[in-house]
């Protein structure tokens, strides 16, 4: 809602967003303006980004699944995202024409995890997506996990993966979208599948997945004993602080 309110108060023809703990390269806006001039037919513009995690000594450029040798151009958002599961568009790397932001009525209300994805996918399924394959923003992960949205279990009504029924027809007609959303389900719903509170809800949602097109590793992950998987997951979570300290 803060982003929607800020957009309503702003006056520019294009909207960019920057979270308080992240930052842009000095020429981010210049490069974005250039991309808009070169590819004026896009409904949304994005750039690559650097994931900053100095605590774990893993600062790296996101391995977004664009075509090899691609420097800038239009991309198939669903194919690109599904290829490596690195987000091609994030809230700190996009520029959106105001007219399209208003057409989509901004970010959806009531969603606490993935509200940005729900906006990007609606745009990407209707308009072209322009992408600059150059790191122009820095996504900071050196923050207290208590202050981050990831790693928490949200109620189904607050989670993007339980709020995709409005795109059910796309799952039938668009194989690229189907592959992406199934990948997101098998990856994002695993902690819910293991939890006692949300297991049944996650299991029902996972019934929508075309398991034949999931990797063998993913199929094996879900075929293991639930008790064993819960134990291994708890051990993994408990060991994380020690692993990061090494």
Q: Which domains does the chain have, with CATH numbers?
A: 2-144 (3.90.550.10), 153-245 (no CATH)
Gap between the Cα atoms of 18 and 202, Å rounded: 32
Strand ranges (E), 102-198: 128-140
Chain segment 116-125, per-residue pLDDT in tens: 999 999 999 9
Query: Which pLDDT band, with edges at 50, 70 and 90, does 239 fall under?
Result: low
Contacts 24+ apart (CB under 8 A), 34-39: 35/72, 35/95, 35/130, 35/132, 36/95, 36/130, 38/72, 39/72, 39/73, 39/74, 39/128, 39/130
Query: Which pLDDT band, with edges at 50, 70 and 90, does 236 fall under?
Result: confident
Instruction: List, in order, residues 6 or more apart from 216 with CB less than 8 Å away.
Output: none
Chain segment 12-48, per-residue pLDDT in tens: 999 999 999 999 999 999 999 999 999 999 999 999 9
- pTM, to two decimals: 0.90
For 35-65, give one letter per residue: b (16+ CB within 10 A) or e: bbeebeebbbbbbbbbbbeeeeeeeeebebb
pLDDT of residue 238: 67
Residue 168 scores a pLDDT above 50:
yes
Query: Which pLDDT band, with edges at 50, 70 and 90, does 246 fall under?
Result: very low
Gap between the Cα atoms of 192 and 202, Å rounded: 6
């Amino acid at each position: 809602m803060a982003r929607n309110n800020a957009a309503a108060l702003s006056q520019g023809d294009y909207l960019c967003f920057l979270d308080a703990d992240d930052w842009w390269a000095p020429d981010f806006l210049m490069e974005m303006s250039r991309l808009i001039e070169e590819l004026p037919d896009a409904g949304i513009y994005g750039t690559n980004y650097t994931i900053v995690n100095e605590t774990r000594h893993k600062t790296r450029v996101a391995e977004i699944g664009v075509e090899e040798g691609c420097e800038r151009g239009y991309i198939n958002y669903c194919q690109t995202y599904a290829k490596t599961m690195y987000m091609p568009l994030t809230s700190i790397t996009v520029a959106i024409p105001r007219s399209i932001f208003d057409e989509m009525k901004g970010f959806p209300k009531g969603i606490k995890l993935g509200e940005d994805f729900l906006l990007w996918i609606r745009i990407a399924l209707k308009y072209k997506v322009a992408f600059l394959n150059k790191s122009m923003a820095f996504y900071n992960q050196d923050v207290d996990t208590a202050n981050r949205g990831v790693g928490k279990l949200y109620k189904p009504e607050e989670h993007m993966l339980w709020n995709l029924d409005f795109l059910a027809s796309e799952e039938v007609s668009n194989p690229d979208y189907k592959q992406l959303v199934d990948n997101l389900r098998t990856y994002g719903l695993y902690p819910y599948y293991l939890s006692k509170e949300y297991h049944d809800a996650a299991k029902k949602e996972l019934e929508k997945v075309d398991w034949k097109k999931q990797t063998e590793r993913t199929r094996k992950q879900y075929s293991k004993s639930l008790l064993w998987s819960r134990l291994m997951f708890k051990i993994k979570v408990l060991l994380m602080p020690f692993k990061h300290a090494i």
